Structure 1
């Protein structure tokens, strides 16, 4: 507890250099806009920097995916109050499961257009660095009383903005994990770059022609992979020449198949459908497969080179023997396309001059990491938490939302909403309220990597 008490100091409000400056929020996604709404309710001015051209740009990139969380868990309370004053009508059925595009069009875009927020969002504005005015991370004198400076790439050039505090809610969608098990880029990625696709392609829509009649390898053991596998199987129903292979590093896909006790029925159903497709042989599962490289094969396709741990090598001179349940023993998988559904990681480069306290493994705030350890918690058993565990050695700097989970798996939006509610109370000087946290989340027995409630398929 002493570490908590040391890090969680009330914000300084009496330094004239901070007077009149807004709180800077990075990201106009669900959590970033919720942070802005919470702060506006407390009379604190904000400025929001969004790299995309509209609110929820990252969500729009997977707008064809249906979330597995109903509306009732997707709407922040302070945001709803802003919207209601502007004449917004909440979805009639709060138990319905929206598509990603529904979340954007029916909630995020109207929220960004409210009078309280509309003039405070800077679109097409990418924060490339955060520091303190006139001091790098090594200087300490009056650090808490010195304004932050955010360097931002905009349509009109690179500009510096000042702020009294910073909330980084930029998410992780723009920084996916790579294919190679070591975490490094493949040595020969340039040879096959056009055949390596990011997570959650629109298999049945805009990208249909690209996948039709092709052999696709989906890499990853999360809900993003599950969605793509199901869509590819649907495509194969209409286009029988379409074939699907699924590669995971784990010995079992249990985390994807899920739990019968999952209170989010759509999430449990997702796993059950993938399990059935594997058992029927519609999807060929390659487990315990660690990828070392991808390169151009002799026939002009993609050779995914790796090691099948614990199973030895395939027989020389013949096809890899097929095992029960659709599993095969291989060292190299040759396909037409590869979908990288391997999860995401936080982009920490812009924060190099900020004093962070991050867990060495998960890259989440150090005090949060034990609460989200996927070996101990599912996304439904992560306890309510706020400013106490999100505080860094850098005064008045916070990472919230999906980025706060670092490399940990599935994140629910409701968790992020409570995070920024607590941060807003802290910045408003409501010390006790900031530490009174409560959150009810749907229970699940299993959480998987790669999915998010705000950035892919698991909201």
Structure 2
């Protein structure tokens, strides 16, 4: 009689069952032996850094200083490829906060001519005067690969479910070309520039949004420069209530001075624009106050048409125009017909390439859960986020870290200097220097890097500078009637 589920096994059955059990034990031992070999091999594999922007190259500089093997993979054709997309925009943090300390040490030792510490660089200057020479440095250039787009990250031989010996298996990085690279650790500094938020007010794409994509530009088009012809004499709808929206609105207003047929409509979900206007003359950050004061004047004089309670629901392209329909929670509709749309709605991280890794993401922000309370925009501005490092950025997947603006998820409180401290701590952890990894600190002015006065000589060149959510950017505009300063509110709006 067979034992089935209920009776004792016969001696013959027990003998038959013993064979596969022994095989399982042998297989498990072989797997453990294999993992020991793999673990020994991991030390010879590089740390792969994804992205050659400011934070990615800062990670490379720290890895180079510590003598760790590394490889930087950049999807674009040059270092700082994403920053080049907003080269016309001026940062509102001066050079002294835009340069990573390890990168500075490498560059200085190589005869670098450092820019003036108080100057506010444009995106183009950030690339040409800092990222390009850093990428060309002998300690980094041999380990930098351009046009290398990462499409997936996993563990060699392990999907997300398999656990036994997982931590000893090397990471497997797959490129768009199909090439696969083994790594001992991954530092993902790929950013969020290529994944803007949608127009739809509920976080989902508006109906017809994809079909109307040809009418939509995302944050900070070069309204007064290369994109001038696109907007001059046209009706533009700007959607969003942050400082990137304000920047574009002021640029469009300046354009309208030369092209009188230019029309501007500004749509926000809130019931008023008070948050965007800020505190005016009472604002602790003068440029932010000046920005709000000037924007309010443009709305009050009718040069900008403000639509409040606007919840983008549907977008329909029809010939040369596009119709945008708002449907608020009560079911009330508004409609705007425009020639162009600027979606200044922020950015979000894309974790798809790490879907086979074990990530512990905050349910609201999409950062690590340990980091979320430190960067929560309901409680912090970019200048009040405390220093943090490897401990707060760690995931259940040992050796994988998302750093820079991607680490913040949807929180718009990221600061470049904070990203530099992140990678210093992470690289220290990867080097086994846990004391240095845990000792995180960040020196910022009392008001944070969100505020910095422009030198008098800069005023005639820059004008009023403003910011972009998450990226700490500013754009040159015509001189306002107020003193020009660099706005710091853009990280948080």
Q: Conserved in 1, the CA contact under 8 Å of 2:55 and 2:419?
A: yes
- 2:325 matched to 1:302? no
Flag structure 2 segments of 5+ consecutive residues without an equivalent.
1-35, 452-465, 476-489
Query: Which residue of the partner structure matches residue 397 of structure 1?
Result: 400
SS at match of 1:226: helix
Deviating more after overlay: 218-227 vs 121-130: 218-227
Structure 1 distance, partners of 2:169, 2:108, is: 37
Offset, 1:145? 1.4
Structure 1 distance, partners of 2:48, 2:61, is: 13
Query: Which residue of the partner structure matches residue 419 of structure 2?
Result: 416
Provide closer, same or farther for how the CA distance between residues 383 and 97 of structure 1 changes in structure 2, counting only shifts above 3 A: same
Provide closer, same or farther for how the CA distance between residues 164 and 446 of structure 1 changes in structure 2, counting only shifts above 3 A: closer
Offset, 1:257? 2.9
Query: Which residue of the partner structure matches residue 470 of structure 2?
Result: 452
- 2:396 matched to 1:376? no
| Number of aligned positions between the proteins | 426
- 2:44 matched to 1:26? no
- 2:348 matched to 1:349? no
- 2:74 matched to 1:50? yes
Q: Conserved in 1, the CA contact under 8 Å of 2:385 and 2:413?
A: no
SS at match of 1:302: strand
Provide closer, same or farther for how the CA distance between residues 72 and 351 of structure 1 changes in structure 2, counting only shifts above 3 A: same
Offset, 1:285? 1.6
Structure 2 distance, partners of 1:80, 1:116, is: 13
Q: Conserved in 1, the CA contact under 8 Å of 2:189 and 2:403?
A: yes
Offset, 1:228? 1.0
Larger radius of gyration: 2
Query: Which residue of the partner structure matches residue 110 of structure 1?
Result: 133
Offset, 1:182? 2.0
Query: Which residue of the partner structure matches residue 480 of structure 2?
Result: none
Q: How does 1:359-370 map to 2 (within 5 A)?
A: 359-370=362-373
SS at match of 2:220: coil
Deviating more after overlay: 223-232 vs 278-287: 278-287
Structure number with greater CO (CA < 8 Å, separation at least 6) is: 1
RMSD (Å), alpha carbons: 2.5
Deviating more after overlay: 184-193 vs 125-134: 184-193
Which of 149, 169, 173 is residue 172 of structure 2 equivalent to?
Answer: 149
SS at match of 2:172: strand
Query: Which residue of the partner structure matches residue 306 of structure 2?
Result: 285
Q: Conserved in 2, the CA contact under 8 Å of 1:261 and 1:444?
A: no
Offset, 1:404? 0.5
Structure 2 distance, partners of 1:16, 1:267, is: 54
Q: How does 1:153-168 map to 2 (within 5 A)?
A: 153=176, 157-168=177-188
Flag structure 1 segments of 5+ consecutive residues without an equivalent.
1-11, 314-329
Structure 2 distance, partners of 1:134, 1:261, is: 60
Question: Structure 2-normalised TM-score?
Answer: 0.81
Query: Which residue of the partner structure matches residue 273 of structure 1?
Result: 294
Query: Which residue of the partner structure matches residue 269 of structure 2?
Result: 249
Provide closer, same or farther for how the CA distance between residues 51 and 414 of structure 1 changes in structure 2, counting only shifts above 3 A: same
Question: Structure 1-normalised TM-score?
Answer: 0.87
